[in-house]
Structure 1
């Protein structure tokens, strides 16, 4: 397959300074890297999709690095992540699943402590559709303070023959998280869970 045809990219960063209660010692940054690409399978059924995952790997790495740079440039400061895709209406949900390996593994390659599975969401949607991308701790999925989501979308995407790809990262958990469970500072990092 040819390299992905990119129509546009976008990087969004929000800095969370306050969530009621006392201000945190340091703000938390949460960001998303988005790319809108042509869907090479739009309008038809294709039995073999997996070769396109390899074609998406360089894009995944570039998007992950762009997001790390936007969040301050220190991959060690990233504590949680997630990924997602919105497939235009001429495609199928499975086309969004192609993002699992190139999107997830790109972040795991660039973030030193990233043993945990990268949570994901995907859907077929019209232009302007929004997607809640789930977020969890990058090294231990059971860290409740980092269960979160970030809503992403681009007003003119995806067009029917496109896919909107998303990566999300944060520099911390929810401000004032107090639901118990495994604390980030107690993570052993042995199995991606605890």
Structure 2
């Protein structure tokens, strides 16, 4: 039936819902990007657990970097926006920062243990439980707020900024430091953190 016939018969199809056609991808949506990173983190934990020797050491180094990149990006891009824009944002972010601090402490302690040491795997599994619990809390309380704000343009600009942060994020997190401003005061990583902050501001704009 042609559109004209549909109109005459009163069967004109309803207008398409633009939101229904929107298919968030990691390139255009920060929630999709961070969810994809959660999947990468789970896969890296699997790889570390299931490997041994140099392969385990390499997988663990990549896991450490991925965790550092992910958390730094969230601290620089996601937390500040949720804190100022979402209902109950202060409490949501405070809880996530507390979880991140504990995970960083456990990760830093694990870095000092040889991956072939008998205590390594039990501690890795404990870290995995904490990290995955933290990821679920992010998805439930923080990412859901981002979705509720329903601002595709903002989510796209944040995805761009997270990708910019990934390129310069530190490879080792500092326990007890959950903001770029404080992190910049620390010695070896100061230049890296400065580049991360600059990249984020450039990607999101001065007021991003």
TM above 0.5, yes or no, is no
Higher helix share: 2
Higher strand share: 1
Instruction: State which structure, 1 or 2, has the greater radius of gyration over its C-alpha atoms.
Output: 2
TM-score (norm 2): 0.27
